[in-house]
Amino acid sequence: MASVVVVGTQWGDEGKGKVVDLLTKYADCIVRFQGGNNAGHTLVVNGKKYVFHIIPSGILYEDKSCMIGNGVIIDPGVLLEEIAELNGKGLPVTPGRLLISENAHLIMPYHQMLDHAREAALSKGKKIGTTGRGIGPCYMDKVGRVGIKAGDLLDPVQFSEKLQANIEEKNFYLTKQYGAEAASFDAIKEQFEAFAEQLAPFIGNVSMELDKARREGRNILFEGAQGTQLDIDHGTYPFVTSSNTIAGNACIGSGFGPAHIDEVIGILKAYTTRVGEGPFPSELPEGDSVGDELQKKGGEFGATTGRRRRCGWLDMVVANDAVRLNGLTGLAITKLDVLSGQPRLKIGRKYTVEGEAFDCMPANIRKTALARPVYEEVDGWDEEISEVRDFNDLPQNARDYVKRIEDISGVAPVIVSVGPDREETLLLRNPFEK
Ligand code: GDP
Ligand code: IMO
Ligand code: MG
């Protein structure tokens, strides 16, 4: 029995969906613990593509229990659409298979409106490039102690009271501060009454269920969203998301004790991508031939917003930050196949900022924007590797690249992914097997 946390080590989109799907095979419960439908997790099973924004990707296995923890924020309309889509694909989502924490906060229509209005009001260079899903404003309400929780859907009186108070305040900001449209109490109330009816059977106590599962000796998988550098405390603030994306939040965001976590697996893309604004030291700017090749070959378009992902070299300053901040016990290296055909590969080892050396991401965002990586270079490989199923069958230079990542980070790979499909994977060690 083991409890395993999976987190992104970079700026998101590392391939968490695929890796979680793989590890789900060995898990009984799969839990999301933070973020909302800003996440987009793509997995490919037998050539069929699935994209999840809010439901744990483990839902593809029929006999697993999926949970949405208190640390997640839920747009009920999006969740219901996702449920309907899965039902339509012959994967019935029943209350026995999906449990939603009563303590998870709801993304309300005014959160999305405020997200858009705030971004529009920011000048160039200050915009975050958010997904526009209402993430920041929803977490602000949570921390500001005025948020509406999933559990409030079960209590119409409390829901109405909270909605009324929020509408008054939000409409003040929307209309007076941003010159935007006001939100309608009546329309939201009616819409959410319908949501409540459909979601009520799914809402319950995730912490209690997880505790029961642990005591019964079940394997639990915690599925992170976003990535370490998007963490609200430890990322490239303010160009981050509004939740803690690192492993510590697996416990807080689900109601599970830290002493019961056995493994933390960091997903590391073999190069780096970032979607949205903000500093990215190892970026290969648009127009750079290698950057453009990685973008094209890696299919680097956002699963949520369809935006082009910025691409760059592997940055081990970022990786080592993730090792430290998450306490990583294993790495899952993804998209190694995308590097095939590059004659030389660069690996970022440290930064210089105005003559000063940094071994970690600078806390000062102005310095981060000026950070220039110091690279080491290694030889690449020509062969396509998506058909390889045994690590030892990889070209020597591909094996050396993986070994170099292990040596620099001090963390051994447990998975090497060589293509988007479930099958295109080399499992070196199963973190659920002690
Ligand atoms: P997530 O947000 O971390 O779950 O990642 P996304 O799903 O947003 O983006 C990762 C993309 O890479 C998806 O389209 C995956 O299907 C794809 N992918 C995952 N692993 C691999 C891999 O090893 N090779 C290739 N070529 N694609 C991969
Ligand atoms: P997954 O789980 C990549 C980025 C946005 C923006 C910043 C803040 O698929 O890895 P937000 O809407 O959260 O307030 O936007 O964070 N961002 C992501 N980038 N992958 C994600 O999720 C992301 N979720 C948010 O692009 O820069
Ligand atoms: Mg994604």
Digit-coded pLDDT (tens) for 305-348: 889 999 999 999 999 999 999 999 999 999 999 999 999 999 99
Burial class of 254 by CB neighbour count within 10 A (0 to 12, 13 to 18, 19+): buried
pLDDT for residue 291 is more than 80: yes
Span from the CA of 131 to the centroid of ligand 2 (angstroms): 6
Closest C-alpha to ligand 1, atom 10: 15
Q: Is the dihedral of CA 280, 284, 132, 269 positive or negative?
A: negative
Give the separation between CA 135 and CA 106, rounded to whole angstroms: 10
DSSP string, 255-281: T--GGG--EEEEEEESSEEE-SSS--T
Q: For 337-396, what is each residue's pLDDT tens digit?
A: 999 999 999 999 999 999 999 999 999 999 999 999 999 999 999 999 999 999 999 999
Mean pLDDT estimate for the chain: 97
Q: How many other CB atoms sit within 10 Å of the CB of residue 175? A: 14
pLDDT of residue 46: 87
Q: Could you give the angle at the alpha carbon of 417 between the alpha carbons of 415 and 419, nearest 5°?
A: 160
CATH class of 268-427: alpha beta
CA–CA distance from 413 to each of 270, 399, 431 (Å)?
12, 11, 11
pLDDT of residue 399: 98
pLDDT of residue 18: 95
pLDDT for residue 139 is more than 90: yes
Give the separation between CA 155 and CA 139, rounded to whole angstroms: 21
Give the separation between CA 201 and CA 198, rounded to whole angstroms: 7
pLDDT of residue 303: 82
CA–CA distance from 292 to each of 42, 195, 287, 342, 386 (Å)?
21, 43, 6, 12, 20
pLDDT of residue 434: 74
For 121, the token pair is 């009001």
pLDDT of residue 57: 87
Query: What is the topology classification, in CATH, of domain 3-101+203-260?
Result: Adenylosuccinate Synthetase; Chain A, domain 1 (3.40.440)
User: What CATH code would you report for 105-199?
Assistant: 1.10.300.10
Prior bond to 238 cis, omega within 30? Answer: yes
**Near ion ligand 3, which residues have CB within 5 Å?**
13, 40, 303
Please state the rounded mean pLDDT for residues 78-88.
95
Closest CA relative to residue 38, chosen from 60, 7, 21, 13:
13
Domain residue spans of the chain: 3-101+203-260, 105-199, 268-427
pLDDT of residue 304: 82
Residue to probe by mutation, ligand 2, list 7, 37, 275, 311, most atoms within 8 Å of CB: 275
Please state the rounded mean pLDDT for residues 206-213.
98
Ligand 2, residues at Cβ distance < 6 Å: 8, 11-13, 38-41, 128-131, 133, 135-136, 225-227, 230, 241-242, 275-276, 303
Q: Is 66 helix (H, G, I), strand (E, B) or coil?
A: strand
Give the separation between CA 182 and CA 281, rounded to whole angstroms: 40
Q: Please tell me the pTM assigned to this model.
A: 0.98
Give the separation between CA 351 and CA 343, rounded to whole angstroms: 24
**pLDDT confidence tier of residue 302, bands split at 50, 70 and 90:** confident
For 33, the token pair is 């613990």
Q: Could you give the angle at the alpha carbon of 138 between the alpha carbons of 49 and 81, nearest 5°?
A: 35
E strand or H helix at 318? helix 316-326
pLDDT of residue 272: 98
For 210, the token pair is 């997880």
pLDDT for residue 400 is more than 80: yes
Please state the rounded mean pLDDT for residues 294-305.
92
Q: For 415-432, what is each residue's pLDDT tens digit?
A: 999 999 999 999 999 999
First-to-last CA distance in the chain?
Answer: 8
How far does Cα 388 stand from its chain's mean position?
27
Q: For 213-236, what is each residue's pLDDT tens digit?
A: 999 999 999 999 999 999 999 999
pLDDT of residue 305: 85
The letter for the amino acid at 20 is V
pLDDT for residue 154 is more than 80: yes
For 154, the token pair is 């079960």
Give the separation between CA 70 and CA 100, rounded to whole angstroms: 8
Residue to probe by mutation, ligand 2, list 226, 236, 243, 318, most atoms within 8 Å of CB: 226
Closest C-alpha to ligand 2, atom 15: 130
Span from the CA of 161 to the centroid of ligand 2 (angstroms): 32
Q: Looking at the CA of 43, which ligand is closest? A: 1
Question: Any idea how long the chain is?
Answer: 434
